[in-house]
Amino acid sequence: MRSYDEICLLLSVAPEASAGLFYIALGLFHKDRDARFKTADLLERIAEHEAGQHWWRALSRFEKLAYVRIKREAEAEARAKMDKEERDGFSPVDKRAS
């Protein structure tokens, strides 16, 4: 789900009166790390969407804290990966060039 219209379609089937984004946000607690990261990315796109901001505000504090925790975890992983590549003598630019 990347486009404006795709987010609109998702929001149209997640009515506020019926838990809104609650069931999507449950993905933040999935046992699979990739599922948690992809859920956080989807929620981020929804939060940036003009209409999605309304649904984002309806999420509970618990769900928002889980989102922040997962985003921090993803950023820390990315930073660690970049640091490891730099220590090994490869920069991300060098990798793409080869």
- Note the pLDDT tens digit of each residue in 29-45: 999 999 999 999 999 99
pTM: 0.79
For residue 17, the model assigns a pLDDT of: 62
8 Å CB contact between 46 and 21:
yes
- Mean of per-residue pLDDT scores for the chain: 86
